[in-house]
Amino acid sequence: MGSLFENYEQQYSTLTADITAQVGLLSASASKDRRQLISNIEKHVEEAQELLEQMDLEVREVDPSKKQRCRTKLDCYRAELKRLTLEYIKARTVKQESLYDSTEDVRISIDQKQRLLDNGETLERAGRKLNEGYRVALESEEIGHQVLKNLAEQRETIQRSRNRLRETDEELSRSSRLLGNMIMRALQQKVILGIVAVCFLVFISFGIYLSFQS
């Protein structure tokens, strides 16, 4: 995916280099050559805009660790294309009466200027929307990280509570066993005392019986 983005970058660099060179030739060209240069520049500007759109689509699929760097590059490319567009408009609208053959050329120039201005504004608006979308994505990502962090803390709290309940249950089990042993010992002692008491009564009764016999 990164290699495709880099391929678009190379194509974009070639286009912008051609636009820069042709804008430099525009003001010194004759009427016929000037019209051809204008046509070429506008064609290259449109191709550059399409490349930027393709690059924007590719950035969404780039590895997260490289996405911010690609976004920064893309913003720079948009700014560069906007600058070149404004330079072209400036060179295109320079007053050189000898380069315009008729009123029709002037009308075409105004239409082309307006179209390029509209394209520049469209690029700027798209850039702002993309930046806003990227900011919202970063905020959403931060919120997601915070939610995961809170869930992890709650999980640790629940785990600690579960461990405490387990330890309490074990303590209760030991206490129950100890209490059971104490009760058994008390019952054993009562039985022994009962047997001793019975034996004592038997001996006393036997002694009384012997005393009456004698």
The two structure tokens encoding residue 125: 């608006």
Closest CA to 85 of 38, 51, 28: 38
Q: Is 104 helix (H, G, I), strand (E, B) or coil?
A: helix
pLDDT in the model for residue 148: 78
CATH classification code of 2-158:
1.20.58.400
pLDDT in the model for residue 106: 46
Share of the chain above pLDDT 90, in %: 0
Judge whether residue 111 has pLDDT over 70: no
Mean pLDDT score across all residues of the chain: 79
Q: Phi, psi at residue 66, to the nearest 5°?
A: -105, -5
Region of 74 on the Ramachandran plot (φ > 0 left; ψ -120 to 50 alpha; else beta) = alpha
Arithmetic mean of pLDDT, 163-185: 85
Map out the domains of the chain as residue ranges. 2-158
Q: At 103, is the pLDDT very low, low, confident or very high (cuts 50, 70, 90)?
A: very low
189: amino acid identity, one letter: Q
pTM of the model: 0.43
Judge whether residue 30 has pLDDT over 70: no
With beta carbons less than 8 A apart as the criterion, state whether 30 and 99 touch: yes
pLDDT in the model for residue 157: 86
Using alpha carbons only, what angle is made at residue 206 by residues 205 and 209, rounded to the nearest 5 degrees? Answer: 85
